[in-house]
Amino acid sequence: MIEQAFVRELSSESRHNRFMAEIRELSPEMLARFTRINYPHDLALIVTCDQGGREQEIAVARYIALEPPQRCEFALAVADGWQGRGVGYRLMQTLMGFARGSGFEHMDGYVLAANHKMLELMHALGFKLGPSEEGPQVRLAMRALQVESGA
C-alpha cells in the first residue's frame, strides 16, 4: 500500500518527527485509521509523483476533528528528498482550506521542539507556537481558520 511504503521510506528522523516515537512502519490499526477517511470529520491529502512508472507518495497532510467542536488537529509529513521545496507549505494551505470549508474554526498540532524546519513552516503559515501539556520537548501550534475580512 502506498501509505505504508511512504512511512517505510522516511528517514528515522522524519518518522520520529511525524510520530514522536520510534516506528519503522505503520501497525495494521494505524494503517486502517490513516486510510479510512470519514470526511468532513477527518481528511487526508497526499501528494504523489511518478517514480519510474510507479506512483510514489511524497507528502501527506491530515486533520481530525477535536472536542470541542470547530477544532481540528493536523499532522504533516514530507519525504526527505522533497523537504524544503514548498510541498509542505502548499499542502498545509490546501488542508487548512478544506478544514475551513468543513466548518472548523481552529487548527492545532503538536511539533517536537527540536524539529526546527516544521516550527519555521508553522510560523510561515501563521500558526502561533506555545507550550504543550506534553512537556518542553513538544510545542503546540495553533491557528484560527476563519476568513479574514479586508474592511
Place of cell 494551505: 93
- Residue spans per domain, the chain: 2-144
Q: Is the pTM value of this prediction over 0.85?
A: yes
Predicted pLDDT of residue 151? 43
In which element (H, E) is residue 50 found?
Answer: strand 42-51
Query: Mean per-residue pLDDT for 15-22?
Result: 88
Instruction: Please say if the pLDDT value at position 78 is more than 80.
Output: yes
Residue in 105, 112, 89, 151 with CA at minimum distance from that of residue 15: 112
In which element (H, E) is residue 91 found?
Answer: helix 87-101
Predicted pLDDT of residue 33? 85
Mean pLDDT (the chain) is: 92
Per CATH, the homologous superfamily of domain 2-144 is: Gcn5-related N-acetyltransferase (GNAT) (3.40.630.30)
Which band of pLDDT confidence, cut at 50, 70 and 90, is reported for residue 50? very high
Which band of pLDDT confidence, cut at 50, 70 and 90, is reported for residue 147? low
Half-sphere exposure of 97 (CA within 13 A, CB side): 7
25-34, 65-74, 108-117: which has the minimum mean pLDDT?
A: 25-34
Query: Mean per-residue pLDDT for 55-67?
Result: 95
